Amino acid sequence: MAANLARGGEVHRPSVEFKVKLPFKVTKRAKWFVSSCPVLDVHSQGESERAAKDHLIEAVSLFLISCFERGVLEEVLKKCGFVPAHGPHRLPVQTKSGEKENYIQVPIPFTIDPGAECRA
């Protein structure tokens, strides 16, 4: 544990960040822009298109972290239709209707408890 101590006696916890690439849409409604991640049924809004997108990234990140903390991430992903992709997988660039699909990259930050033992 001495190797994990930083200045001031604080424990240094390595960090790791997963990124999830998800489809999203932004539409204008009155004076607001509404952003949606339909595959997770998460929505947000903002006064500009950029703000709506940024708020959606934050909302999706918080949603996924909350699911992980509650131990229901696997269940939620399965209910939303997620299945493992085996082999090389490329994201589609067009929807069934022919519209171009846009993607957001959502960070999911973690720190690693140096005292934990991974027994996967």
pTM of the model: 0.78
| pLDDT, tens only, 71-119 | 999 999 999 999 988 877 665 555 555 566 799 999 999 998 888 887 7
Alpha-carbon distance of 119 to 54, in angstroms, equals: 36
What pLDDT does 2 receive? 45
| DSSP category for residue 108 | E
- Run of H or E residues at 78: helix 73-79
Whether 45 is covered by a domain: the verdict is yes
Which one, of 37, 14, 40, lies nearest residue 26 by Cα? 37
Name the maximum alpha-carbon separation found in the chain: 58
Residue 1 has pLDDT above 50, yes or no: no
Q: Report the alpha-carbon angle 10-12-13, nearest 5.
A: 130
Instruction: Indicate the SS3 state at residue 96.
Output: coil
For residue 7, is it within any domain? Answer: no
Token pair for 106? 């959502």
In a domain? residue 2: no
**Do the domain assignments include residue 10?**
no
For residue 75, is it within any domain? yes
Contact partners, residue 4, CB within 8 Å, separation at least 6: 11, 12, 13, 114
Domain of residue 28: give its range: 24-81+92-110
**How many domains are there within the chain?**
1
- Domain membership flag for residue 52: yes
**Residue 40: inside a domain, yes or no?**
yes
User: Tens of pLDDT along 53-69?
Assistant: 999 999 999 999 999 99
Residue whose token pair is 């918080």 = 62
Tokens representing 53?
């997108």
